[in-house]
Amino acid sequence: MPRKIVFFFPSFASSEATAPLGILAVATPLLRAGYAVRLIDSTITPDYKKRVLEEVKDAICLCVSLVTGPMIRETVEIARAVKEWNPDFPVILGGWHPSLLPKQTLEAEFVDVVVRGQGEETLLELVQHLENHSAIDLIPGIGFKRDGKIIFTTERPLKPLVDMPPKAYELADFDAYERLCGRRWAMYTSSLACPFNCAYCTNGGVYGRKWNALPAEQFVEETVALTRRYNLEMLWVVDDNFLVDLDRARAIGEGLVRARANFKWSIQATTNLTARLSLEDLRLLRRAGLHQICQGVDSGSPKILKLMNKTFQDFDDIYACAARCLRAGIRPSFNIIFAYPGEGRTELRQTISFIMDVCRRFPGAEFWTNIFTPYPGSPVMQRAEEIGIEVPTSLEGWADFFPRYTVLPWLKGRDHRRLQVLRDYLRIAFDRIPIAADTRDRATRIFQKMLSFPARWRLDHDFYEYPVELWLNDRLKRRTANFKPAVDAKRLEPAAAC
């Protein structure tokens, strides 16, 4: 009897290539139960379709992990190919998109089971039942089809992170990820959920609002061992809000310093919680290797922040905290969402002025921008009809929901093009440091620095006609880019033309 499970991870549209943590999480109980696990990540496997079709031949099922957006394309491609080979072979989907829209996902003819929410225990039970050919009706946290009818089992209650097994990092081919991205790094989770409720965010729909975390000692022990075992230079702690418990954060800093940890790490946290860190706290965390705090500022307009349900932010605090972070040697990294419903020219200009002001006053601070994307399960989606969003009616309909090129009823055609050009100018006006290694030579860097001055002038004057600097920058990038994620390369062109 075969005891093999095949996982497929569709490419994540990012040059920040590393192992998919969701799959490493659900793989541990399977490995412990004696199953063989194959992980095929299309980002590092050019012939991924062939590989999947080979591996499924003697496996129990195919499991795919996906979020809403372009990952759906390869999911559909692979699931269809497997079903063509054997219509009875079980295809299981898990992760954010199937968790938020389980019914619609199951309506796709090539999907047999969806796993909702945390998958560690659910998938193990499911695989055991599939192996024994027993009925799966009593497994909590799944949806499946029988005789054309969709059936959902009871919800599986969320478990605190501390009760979850460690991730199966041994499945990750770190050499292959490093070859693509130029850096050897991994993700690590130390807490779940976020106590806030931003209107565009889907987190509440999957993890609820009850923040829970690993104790500081476990963080220190695991991260030190992980980075040493795989020779990793960096960890991205992907917690939604790392700083909810400040004492834990300080204890982690002290523990890492004591353990003589030798890796860089970055965190995500809200601006209000980051602002609670004193210079002393920040210096301690810096000594412990923390080099970046990613914070969702999202807009420079108080009106838009109110609509986003982000009234917990304070601009003075953001300025003061950016200064403290930089004094401590930690990079403050901010996210912005453009075109949120209700954003007009005035609000957009407020945001641009805010970005320019912060970047000029605090060199080293950086901004990453996106276009508002209405995700299933986010509070704002309850108002979809009112704000004019056409909600897709099939799994495939969500493939174009991607913040880098989302087209909205109030942002299309010329306006969409203009905003994309503006975002491109922001990219060259101020330095940003991505995770992937910087492969630019000295001449390119100097030339790009020169382009930043006209870019700043344009942003100050809201003038984006004849974007010659972008053309020049594009030529430069083509000379130096070593890896372009497949999904982006495929999709950005049509978006620019819309």
Binding region for ligand SF4 (CB under 6 A) out of 35-43, 196-204, 223-231, 245-253: 196-204
Cβ-contact 115, 123 below 8 angstroms: yes
118 binds ligand B12 (CB under 6 A): yes
Binding region for ligand B12 (CB under 6 A) out of 67-75, 254-262, 325-333, 455-463: 67-75
How many chain residues bind ligand SF4 (CB under 6 A)?
A: 10
Cβ-contact 139, 129 below 8 angstroms: yes
96 binds ligand B12 (CB under 6 A): yes
Nearest alpha-carbon partner for 395 in 33, 56, 111, 91: 111
Closest CB to ligand SF4 among residues 196, 354:
196
Cβ-contact 256, 220 below 8 angstroms: yes
422 binds ligand B12 (CB under 6 A): no
Window 150-169: contact mask with ligand B12 (x via CB under 6 A): --------------------
71 binds ligand B12 (CB under 6 A): yes
313 binds ligand SF4 (CB under 6 A): no
Closest CB to ligand B12 among residues 70, 328:
70
Count Cα atoms within 13 angstroms, Cβ side, for 226: 28
241 binds ligand SF4 (CB under 6 A): yes
Among 22, 143, 374, 467, binds ligand B12 (CB under 6 A): 22
Binding region for ligand SF4 (CB under 6 A) out of 86-94, 192-200, 392-400, 444-452: 192-200
Closest CB to ligand SF4 among residues 122, 203:
203
270 binds ligand SF4 (CB under 6 A): yes
Give which of ligand B12, ligand SF4, none residue 340 binds (C-beta under 5 to 8 Å, depending on kind): none
Among 199, 238, 472, 492, binds ligand B12 (CB under 6 A): 238
Binding region for ligand SF4 (CB under 6 A) out of 124-132, 195-203, 214-222, 470-478: 195-203
270 binds ligand B12 (CB under 6 A): no
Among 61, 62, 168, 198, binds ligand SF4 (CB under 6 A): 198
Site for ligand B12 in 291-330 (CB under 6 A): none
101 binds ligand SF4 (CB under 6 A): no
Binding region for ligand SF4 (CB under 6 A) out of 44-52, 191-199, 222-230, 243-251: 191-199
Measured CA to CA, the distance from residue 249 to residue 242 in angstroms comes to 8
Among 86, 134, 197, 482, binds ligand SF4 (CB under 6 A): 197
How many chain residues bind ligand B12 (CB under 6 A)?
A: 42
Binding region for ligand SF4 (CB under 6 A) out of 4-12, 97-105, 197-205, 213-221: 197-205
CA dihedral defined by 153, 26, 88, 96, rounded to 10 degrees? 60
Give which of ligand SF4, ligand B12, none residue 330 binds (C-beta under 5 to 8 Å, depending on kind): none
Site for ligand B12 in 203-222 (CB under 6 A): 203
68 binds ligand SF4 (CB under 6 A): no
Cβ-contact 228, 261 below 8 angstroms: no
Closest CB to ligand SF4 among residues 67, 201:
201
Nearest alpha-carbon partner for 239 in 271, 206, 212: 212
Give which of ligand B12, ligand SF4, none residue 115 binds (C-beta under 5 to 8 Å, depending on kind): ligand B12
The 3-class SS string of the chain reads CCCEEEEEECCCCCCCCCCCHHHHHHHHHHHHCCCEEEEEECCCCCCHHHHHHHHHHHCCEEEEECCCCCHHHHHHHHHHHHHHHCCCCCEEEECHHHHHCHHHHHCCCCCCEEECCCCHHHHHHHHHHHHHCCCCCCCCCEEEEECCEEEECCCCCCCCHHHCCCCCHHHCCHHHHHHHHCCCEEEECCEECCCCCCCCCCHHHHHCCCCEECCHHHHHHHHHHHHHHHCCCEEEECCCCHHHCHHHHHHHHHHHHHCCCCCEEEEECCHHHHCCCCHHHHHHHHHCCEEEEEEEEECCCHHHHHHCCCCCCCHHHHHHHHHHHHHHCCEEEEEEEECCCCCCHHHHHHHHHHHHHHHHHCECEEEEEEECCCCCCCHHHHHHHHHCCCCCCCHHHHCCCCCCCCCECCECHHHHHHHHHHHHHHHHHCCCCCCCCCCCCHHHHHHHHHHHHHHHHHHHHCCCCCCHHHHHHHHHHHHHCCCCCHHHHHHHHHHHHC
CB of 166 to ligand B12, least distance (A): 11
Angle 382-93-18 from CA coordinates, rounded to 5°: 95
213 binds ligand SF4 (CB under 6 A): no
16 binds ligand B12 (CB under 6 A): yes
Binding region for ligand SF4 (CB under 6 A) out of 4-12, 53-61, 189-197, 453-461: 189-197
375 binds ligand B12 (CB under 6 A): yes
Would you tell me which residues interact with ligand B12 (CB under 6 A)?
12-14, 16, 18, 20-23, 25-26, 63, 65, 67-71, 92, 94-97, 99-100, 115, 118-120, 123, 187, 189, 201-203, 238, 240, 370, 375, 402-404
Would you tell me which residues interact with ligand SF4 (CB under 6 A)?
194, 196-198, 201, 203, 240-241, 270, 296
